[in-house]
Amino acid sequence: MNTIHLLLLTLIISFAPVAASAEENKGSSQAPNIIIIMTDDQGYADVGKFGAKGFSTPHLDRMADEGLRFTNWYVPQAVCGASRAGLLTGCYPNRINMLGAPGPSSRGGIADGEVLISEMLKDRGYSTALFGKWHLGHLRKFLPLQHGFDEYYGLPFSNDMWPYHPGVRHLSMEKRLKRWPHLPMIEGNEIINKEVSPEDQVGLTTSYTEKAVDFIARNRTKPFFLYVAHSMPHVPLFVSEKFKGKSEQGLYGDVIMEIDWSVGQILSALKRFDLADNTLVLFTSDNGPWLSYGNHAGSAHPLREGKGTTWEGGQRVPCIVRWPRRIPAGQACHTPAMHIDLFPTIQNIVGGKEPPHQIDGRDITALLTNPGEAKSP
């Protein structure tokens, strides 16, 4: 073998690992990944950077230090199902007839004609998944796989919609089941557990997190949309053994610390697969705290009231956005924005199609990338 051939062979061998790594982590060339993490009934002051007391949220605090914190982020309606409908469609819930929090007796759900973020991104070639609470209709035709999600694992509605609800605990099980049937766990389109138990709920946050990390690993070479919709800290509160008794705020604080751990696991996975710079991660809550549950509820301090009200404590929630490539670190945006703005913003970022009907949200890309100078759209 002559000297030139030997040199060429050496160069090929030397650059092979680099080429393989570039193929596996296309962060610099492909469309950005999108991750939305939503909690259930977490109050405005239930994150360290927003004034939490009695428990710590180091991963969320780090996410804020590395990204942008919205201090005036609003929900479209201060209740579970309606808020989620607004986030995923960019519409006020009233416009799309998704009001309140549909339960197991409801026959309605998100209409076929509505375009969800998942559908818009799937049309752009994204892999899509939801792990957690859906709450846009539990009948098969309303489930996530019929609305742009490739994968789904979670509860179809709130974790208190079961025969152990405090409002029926004094009744016999036979009478309870007439009001609140057993809570199902769904994977894809199929019920995999017909009777979710308290023991099952203990592992919800962990199972959602493990599936989210696995999804990231399996889709690291192509753009993906991951929606992690935690069932907690909606009552009844459950936490895994590894976080039980960890906070100074009782069970509620333990639950928030486990959710913070979950955020850390997702951020670590992005770093491990060299995806962090090219992934927009947004953390928020569906509405304010359910104050009637006392120390099993969070705090909206210094705001008035909580979930189910039109006061600030019900409508304003914590929101943190991290996207190292585009969002400056350690910033705070005081300009009002809300859940329904996510659809048009993500649409602009990825070059997605406009829905064939009117939506109500506004593109807030400028607020994300230039929070100090951009004006409200």
* CATH number, domain containing residue 225: 3.40.720.10
Band of the pLDDT at 165, cuts 50, 70, 90?
A: confident
pLDDT value for 169: 85
Asked, for residue 27, whether it belongs to a domain, the answer is no
Is 297 part of a structural domain of the chain? yes
Report the amino acid identity of residue 342: L
Residue 94 C-beta-side C-alpha neighbours within 13 Å: 4
In a domain, 21, yes or no: no
Separation between Cα atoms, residue 150 and residue 225, nearest integer Å: 10
DSSP 8-state assignment for residue 114: P
Residue 5 is assigned to a structural domain of this protein: no
In a domain, 175, yes or no: yes
The single residue listed with the structure tokens 């489930």 is 143
Assigned domain for 10 exists: no
Nearest one of 129, 91, 60 to 282, comparing CA atoms: 60
Domain that holds residue 252: 36-369
pLDDT of 108-158, one tens digit each?
999 999 999 999 999 999 999 999 999 999 999 999 999 999 999 999 999
Q: What is the pTM of this model?
A: 0.92
Count of domains observed in the chain:
1
Phi, psi of 307 (to 5 degrees): -50, 145
Give exposure, 237-250, as e/b (b: 16+ Cβ within 10 Å): bbbbeebeeebebe
> Under a CB-based contact definition with an 8 Å cutoff, are residues 102 and 80 in contact?
no
Q: What is the pLDDT of residues 242-293, one digit of tens each?
A: 999 999 999 999 999 999 999 999 999 999 999 999 999 999 999 999 999 9
Mean pLDDT, the chain, whole residue set: 93
Whether residue 270 is contained in a domain is answered as yes
Both structure tokens of 225: 């949309």
CB 28 within 8 A of CB 278: yes
pLDDT computed for residue 159 by the predictor: 96
Rounded distance, CA 371 to CA 225, Å? 24
Counting Cα atoms < 13 Å in the Cβ hemisphere of 120 gives: 23
Q: Tell me the catalytic residues.
A: 80, 135
pLDDT exceeds cutoff 90 at 64: yes
User: Over 70: is that where the pLDDT of 186 sits?
Assistant: yes
CA distance 230 to 357: 30
Angstrom distance (rounded) from CA 14 to CA 223: 28
Whether 26 shows a pLDDT value over 80: the answer reads no
Q: How far apart are the first and last CA of the chain?
A: 66
